[in-house]
Amino acid sequence: MTETYPVTPRNRVKREPDRGSYSRDEIYRVLDAAMLCHVAYVLDGQPFCTPTLLWREGDVLYWHGSSASRMIRQLAQGAPACVTVSHLDGLVMARSAFNHSVNYRSAMCFGTARLVSDPDEKLHALRAMVDRFYPGRFETLRPVTAQEIKATGFIAMPIDEASMKSRAHGVGEDAADAGHEVWAGVINLETRIVADAPCPRMEPPLPRPAGLAPLSEGARLDEALLHLQRLYEGEVGALV
């Protein structure tokens, strides 16, 4: 496997190409720091874009949905798809409307989706959907039923082409604008975890599982998800 994805007409970063990258490691970091993605596909000539939970195993992306959903039914046929993930890191305020911007990280991945239909792989996907984000939790839950497995559809998509793009600097503007008396700068943004809300029907009250330590109050969500991905990769590797 090469360290970078091939550059093609589909994934080439055309505007501000210096902000783009085709590095697998950089693209993986954007993907792994997120839980939510948007899946774009075409059904009967009509474009759709569906938000859903995402996780990565090696060079394959997985997501889920109701077995009866149009997304699952369409992609089950082996349809092409485009998966995007984005993080908003800052609001960039310049002295002109034209130079306002945002700091961000984003990744766009292309491939051909397939339905996860093998029973063992489907059970693995169901477990991965939980343990990727909450280590060891699947085995502590009440057993999944046959109807629940039937009702849940999983899609796998090997990444054929991908690129990432980011902006992570201050105000960019014309030198002449510096004399205009209006506030300019970057409002930095982070998503942080706040206090838990334990279920009131939990009797007796139980302690928070130790495996959820990366998701503790005050932690940055993207950094916690990156840490949990490394733990998940170690767990999957141990099972192989």
> Residue 1 has what pLDDT?
76
Q: What percentage of the chain reaches a pLDDT higher than 70?
A: 98
Whether 10 is in a domain gets the answer: no
Domain limits at 179?
17-239
Q: Rounded to the nearest 5 degrees, what angle is found at the Cα of 25, between the Cα atoms of 19 and 26?
A: 25
Name the band, by pLDDT with cuts 50, 70 and 90, for residue 234: confident
Whether 182 is in a domain gets the answer: yes
Q: Average pLDDT for residues 143-147, to the nearest whole number? A: 91
Contact yes or no for 105/87 (Cβ under 8 A): yes
pLDDT of residue 201 exceeding 70, the answer is yes
pLDDT of residue 239 exceeding 60, the answer is no
DSSP letters of 185-205?
Answer: EEEE---B-------TT-SS-
Question: Between residues 108 and 119, which one has the greater pLDDT?
Answer: 108
User: Whole-angstrom Cα distance, residue 172 to residue 19?
Assistant: 14
pLDDT digits (tens, 9 = 90+) for 89-116: 999 999 999 999 999 999 999 999 999 9
Whether 11 is in a domain gets the answer: no
> Residue 240 has what pLDDT?
36
Q: Average pLDDT for residues 34-44, to the nearest whole number? A: 96
Whether 87 is in a domain gets the answer: yes
> Residue 236 has what pLDDT?
58
CATH number reported for the structural domain that contains residue 164 in this entry: 2.30.110.10
> Residue 229 has what pLDDT?
96
Average pLDDT, the chain: 93
Q: Average pLDDT for residues 83-90, to the nearest whole number? A: 98
> Residue 232 has what pLDDT?
94
User: Whole-angstrom Cα distance, residue 140 to residue 210?
Assistant: 13
Name the band, by pLDDT with cuts 50, 70 and 90, for residue 238: very low
Whether 67 is in a domain gets the answer: yes
Q: Average pLDDT for residues 194-214, to the nearest whole number? A: 92
Closest CA to 155 of 71, 221, 214: 71
Whether 165 is in a domain gets the answer: yes
Whether 167 is in a domain gets the answer: yes
Look at the chain and report how many structural domains it folds into.
Answer: 1
